[in-house]
Amino acid sequence: MEVGEQIKRFEDFIQANYFKELNERVSKGDKSIVFDFVELTKHDPDLAELLLEQPEEVIRAAEIALSNFDLPKDAKNIRVRISNITPDLKMLIRNIRSEHLGRLMMIDGVVRQKSDVRPRVTSARFECPSCGNVINVLQLDSKFKEPSRCGCGRKGKFKLLKKELVDAQGIVLEEATKDLEGGEQPKRINVLLKDDLVSPISEKRTNPGSNIRVVGIVKEVPIILRSGGLSTKFDIVVEGNFVEPLEEDYSNIEISPEEKEMIEELASDKRILERLSKSLAPGIYGHDRIKEALILQFCGGVRKMRDDGVSTRGDIHILLIGDPGAGKSQLLKRATIVAPKSRYVSGKGVSGAGLTASVVKDEFLHGWSLEAGALVLANKGVVMIDEMDKMGKEDRDAMHEALEQQTVSISKANIQATLRCETTVLAAANPKFGRFDPYETISKQIDLPPTLINRFDLIFTIKDMPDQDKDEKMAKFILNLHQQADGNYTKKENVQDDMIPTDVLRKYLIYCRQVKTPLLTDAALEELKIYYVKMRTSGSDEAGAMKSIPISARQLEALVRLAEATAKARLSDRVTRKDAKRAIALLHYCLEQVGLDPETGKIDIDRISTGIPSTERNKIATIREIISELEEKIGKAIPMEEITAAATEKGLSESDTEEAIEKLRRVGDVFMPRHGFISRI
């Protein structure tokens, strides 16, 4: 097809389909117009076929056709973008071969790296000093080209008159995990974006971690050898024509008016929270409290930015600690399907850099570049960390800042950066010895650092204890699931009339986060205050001496977040007393599970947050006092019997005394000069 014919056909196509839109875009000052490939196929199949085979020439013809319309002078260089290419033309990065060079392709993937936006030369004009002839050279390669000779016979040393620059940016696109089979390694490809594809609005779509679809032309790039010559091997790059986001976070997903109406109808049900938690994981038996907590986690609290610049997180972090085979990983896997933007990582295969961010030496973009980890990639989404107890100590320490401050600070090579990671964390771990010991306190069996545990708002323990009635129900439930090979919950034993389909559940949770920022009412505030003060005073004895610290300010903030999330789940603008009571019930349940001190029978937050309960701390303080008193009477070396006798008078048993002395020895407060004697350092 001749170029003139192509231009004429494009003029007809624009006149029929895009004339009104073209005028609107020009009046707004847009620099590009998006053509729908399906519409072009309906209008002119031959032209659409040619567009796939020779995209550069055909797109140029379309741009000439646009300039033939009566447009203002500054809108003459309007670009053509092609979208909605038929799905059968979608290409996996691993399947791109030399036969695809120069063709129009559609590729899906995750952005892994991104360079800065820099100007790039597209064409340069040179003047011949001998005859004054002006030579125009198109700059298509990565190397700047000068004219080799002029018509008058002159070779080299031409004067550069003018060069045309466009903004350009390189991104590295990696195959999405869902497109891979088995243990395949995801492949990567370099994508070059130019002009309006790197405008500030478009650039937000291509941040590391974004799932995007790129329509572009596959091109080869020569590899320069160290000797300066060209290699026989070429690199592949995709020159982007159109970029659209695929999976976005809560804030970007659009909800249609029909969906909005359906969601608001659902919210009018008084039992909506129970319905949501039942629909979260219908294939997992029991765990009703955990399912309710996960729904609240997906709704999230309200992030607050105060006038002094300090922000309070709205994300609710949850930790599940349980016996093997209790369904923790299944809950996490199901949660990845329900959450709009999520990442799933598992213990042993996780490093600190893989969770936060790493600095890598980059060949394509040159220099050092920042590669985002799971917590940063899932910004405004959810990260599921399975087998958390199997992670290394240093790798776990990398999470501290990300969980509370919700930022990741990097200072490596010549890069100093602070990345945002407003990410919700749902973690699962096993107890210290693989399974819970029913005769030992739970807090002693959690093999995680207290500073990390303290950052989780809710900690659930899942015990797998034999119970005939419960086991019978669970066996029936699981066997019925296996009987249905297709996995549809059609049997009477499993079906609930009020089950919400997964896609509706996702949209409901997205709508909760997007639209609602509920405010605390005075009644809810009063309810939370009464509970907090009551719990704080319950740690003192009759004389007013502090025996245990039942709850800290961090738990109060967790209560506020949970109450806000409950209001969001009901699609309410106000946090009522009822919401506060539900939040209190959930937190109290968790505290009873993990923070109960068996000696006093009271909740003691120190069991979780510091690893040493306050009763134990009091014993250590008593032994310290006894040692200093005896030192004044006896001298430096104090016999062990004397300490034990004095401790017994104060109500401490022999084993308590030995344990306290061992702890003091470990921290270096006391030492044993000879067997059976203790001295202070």
Q: What would you measure as the largest C-alpha separation in the chain, in angstroms?
A: 113
The DSSP element (H or E) to which 220 belongs, if any, is strand 211-224
Q: Which option is the CATH number for 257-465+498-515: 3.40.710.10, 2.70.180.20, 3.90.1010.10, 3.40.50.300?
A: 3.40.50.300
For 358-369, write each residue's pLDDT tens digit. 777 766 556 666
Write down the CATH number for the domain with range 3-84. 3.30.1640.10
Is the Cβ–Cβ distance between 130 and 159 less than 8 Å?
Answer: no
Confidence of residue 307 (pLDDT cuts 50, 70, 90): confident
In this structure, the chain runs to a length of 681
Q: Categorize the per-residue pLDDT at 494 as very low, low, confident or very high, splitting at 50, 70 and 90.
A: very low
Tokens of 283: 């294939």
Torsion angle of C-alpha atoms 589, 595, 597, 602, degrees rounded to 10 = -50
| Tokens found for residue 351 | 């490093």
Residue 360 has a pLDDT of 73
Phi, psi (degrees; rounded to nearest 5) at 344: -115, 125
Q: In the predicted model, is pLDDT for residue 347 greater than 70?
A: yes
* Residue 594 and residue 613 in contact, taking contact as beta carbons nearer than 8 Å: no
Q: Is residue 545 very low, low, confident or very high in pLDDT (cuts 50, 70, 90)? A: very low
635 conformational bin, left if phi > 0, alpha if psi -120 to 50, beta if neither: left
**CA nearest 315: which of 304, 331, 328?**
304
pLDDT digits (tens, 9 = 90+) for 583-601: 888 888 887 777 665 555 5
Instruction: Give the residue carrying structure tokens 């106000």.
Output: 574
**pLDDT(208) > 80:** no
SS3 565: helix
Fold classified for 614-680: Arc Repressor Mutant, subunit A (1.10.10)
Look at residue 349 in the predicted model and tell me its pLDDT: 77
Cα(526)–Cα(518) distance, rounded to whole angstroms?
16
Residue 599 pLDDT: 55
Q: How far apart are CA 182 and CA 607, in angstroms?
A: 43
Whose structure tokens read 């066996």?
475
CATH topology of domain 89-246: OB fold (Dihydrolipoamide Acetyltransferase, E2P) (2.40.50)
Q: Give the residue among 112, 135, 110, 133 at the shortest CA–CA distance from 124.
A: 135
The confidence score (pLDDT) of residue 615 equals 62
Torsion 542-544-548-549 (CA) sign: positive
pLDDT for 490 equals: 45
Task: Using DSSP, state whether 90 is helix, strand or coil.
Answer: strand
Sequence-ordered list of residues with C-beta below 8 angstroms from that of 316, at least 6 positions apart, any chain: 293, 296, 297, 300, 301, 424, 457, 458, 558, 561, 562, 565
Q: What percent of the chain has pLDDT over 70?
A: 86
Q: State residue 25's pLDDT score.
A: 79
Phi, psi at 567, each rounded to 5° = -65, -40
Strands 188-194 and 368-372: unpaired
Question: Residue 334: its pLDDT value, please?
Answer: 81
* Of 681 and 413, the one with more pLDDT: 681
**Listed range (58-62, 79-83, 277-281) with the worst mean pLDDT:** 277-281
379 within 8 A of 251, measured Cβ to Cβ:
no
Q: What is the pLDDT of residues 398-415, one digit of tens each?
A: 788 888 888 888 887 667
**For the chain, what are the domain ranges?**
3-84, 89-246, 257-465+498-515, 614-680
CB 77 within 8 A of CB 196: no
CA–CA separation, 508 and 339 (whole Å): 11
Tokens of 323: 């016996």
| Average pLDDT over every residue of 486-507 | 61
| Joined tokens for residue 528 | 């939370």
Torsion-angle region of 668 (φ positive above 0: left; ψ -120 to 50: alpha; else: beta):
left
Q: DSSP letter for 546, please.
A: B
Model pLDDT, residue 364: 56
Average pLDDT, the chain: 78
Tell me the pLDDT tens digit for each residue of 656-676: 788 888 888 877 788 888 887
- In 3D space, the residue among 326, 548, 571, 546 whose CA is nearest the CA of residue 435 turns out to be 326
Give the pLDDT confidence of 600-649 residue by residue, as tens digits: 556 656 555 555 565 666 778 788 888 888 887 887 888 888 888 888 88
Per residue, what are the HEC states of 452-480? HHCCCCEEEEECCCCCHHHHHHHHHHHHH
Residue 384 has pLDDT above 60, yes or no: yes
Decide: 443 and 590 in contact? Cβ < 8 Å: no
In this structure, what DSSP letter does residue 273 have? H
Query: How many other β-carbons are positioned within 10 Å of the β-carbon of residue 544?
Result: 7
pLDDT digits (tens, 9 = 90+) for 100-136: 888 888 888 888 777 777 888 878 888 888 888 888 8
What percentage of the chain exceeds 90 in pLDDT?
A: 0
More confident residue, 393 or 317: 317
Position with higher pLDDT, 539 vs 326: 326
The contacts of residue 608 (CB under 8 Å, 6+ apart) are 443, 446, 450, 453, 454, 459, 594, 595
pLDDT of residue 614: 59
Place of tokens 């959690």: 446
CA dist 189 → 94, 108, 532 (Å): 9, 11, 54
Give the model's pLDDT for residue 482: 75
3-state DSSP assignment of residue 338 = helix
Choose between 126 and 184: higher pLDDT.
126
DSSP state of 35: E
Lowest mean pLDDT among 63-72, 225-234, 441-450: 441-450
